[in-house]
Amino acid sequence: MVFGMTMIKVKPSQDSIAYQTIQSIKGVKEIYRIFGEYSFFLIMDAYVQGDLEKIVDEIRMTGDVVEIQPVLVTDDSDLASLWLSESKESALS
């Protein structure tokens, strides 16, 4: 399992439509509205990195997307080790 995180910018005044469309795409697990240069922060998951690329391609084809930042990719073992290290630090505090 791999996870991808990215930020996207959509056309002005298309936030609501883009949010609903992107949220319905298989593999998009979380979508957050953000303020600033980009409109949304996305968390996606897939079995392999190639599937993440397909998700990003599908997002691009929605027609409302102006820009997609490069996707940061990690696998679930990276997330698990990060969580464990944070838990240990909290326990020591």
Encode pLDDT of 41-93 as tens digits: 999 998 888 898 999 999 999 888 999 987 878 776 555 454 444 444 444 44
Give 18's contacts (C-beta < 8 A, 6+ positions apart): 10, 11, 39, 40, 62, 64, 65
Question: Cα separation of 15 and 19, whole Å?
Answer: 6
pLDDT of 92: 46
Structure tokens given for 4: 């991808």
Distances (CA, A) of 2 to 36, 51, 52, 84: 27, 9, 8, 18
pLDDT of 87: 42
Give 27's contacts (C-beta < 8 A, 6+ positions apart): 44, 45, 46, 51, 52, 54, 55
pLDDT at 1 > cutoff 90: no
pLDDT of 28: 95
pLDDT at 21 > cutoff 50: yes
Closest CA to 51 of 2, 89, 17: 2
